Amino acid sequence: MRNHYNGLKTAALFGLIWALLLGMGALIGGGRYIWLFALFGVGMTAYSYWNSDKLAIKAMKAYPVTEQEQPAMYRIVRDLSAQANQPMPRLYVSPTEAPNAFATGRNPKNAAVCCTEGILRLLDERELRGVLGHELMHVYNRDILTGSIAAAMAGVISSVASMAFWFGGDRERGGNPIAMLLMALLAPFAAMIIQMAISRTREYDADEDGAKLTGDPLALASALRKLELGTQQAPLAPSPQLQNASHMMIANPFRAQDISRMMSTHPPMAERIARLEQMAYGHDIR
């Protein structure tokens, strides 16, 4: 069992987003149309999940690398994959100075791990091992599926709220127009907050499980310290493509002023580092 119960937290957050969706269904048409939007959301989830590796790699303009080009990446990932008894993913490098890394793919057999040129220059091999262990655990924990489902449910809620705003819901049954307006305005915002919270819990899990895989929590903690400073010095400019891929990255790639803590897909670096240090020194991280 994970000491900080992030699996339970994720399940609770999914429960909240489902409760929000069902509450909207009760306001709109007595729930008669909710399955149409749910079907659309499931379709979008399936497409994003099946193509997640291609979409993220394209957003970062990454290119595949050989073992001759990146021997350290290959050596580390091959060793960690074998240790986890999992297939080795494809390796990519993104031509950007912003230091970051991410893993994507619908399952371990169809996974890809990408490092930016900036992170490869910033970290030493021990720290890079900590980062790659974190990213591999996102794949092994099926976090891509979790993120796709959360994004799809948030999208369904936004679509239903938009329908309620433009068509007014079920006026024939005397729907409350004030309640409909509040739902249309607040439900998408609430869904997005819950989606971000789910993403943050998965980051904590990847930190803990990646540190267990490498056996070196302090290496990841050291890498996160460097990444916190590095992403501030060389942030990525927000764009729709990068915003859709940012939750996959080990560090928030945008400037702190571009995004509030509530809306961040990543927990604060100080908290992540503190948890890893507590792991290293044998303290409870609940």
Catalytic positions, written as ranges: 135
Start-to-end Cα distance in the chain:
11
Cα–Cα distance, 98 to 144 (Å, whole number): 22
d(CA 74, CA 104): 17
Stretch (H or E) spanning 227: helix 217-233
Which residues, in sequence order, are bridge partners of residue 101?
A: 115
Q: Given the structure tokens 């302090």, which residue do they identify? A: 218
Beta 90-94 vs 63-64: how paired, if at all?
Answer: antiparallel
- Contact of 120 with 92, CB cutoff 8 Å: no
Token output for 102 = 């991410």
> Contact, 196 vs 262, CB < 8 A?
yes
The burial of 39, by beta-carbon neighbours within 10 Å (0-12 exposed, 13-18 middle, 19 or more buried), is given as exposed
Cα(233)–Cα(255) distance, integer angstroms: 9
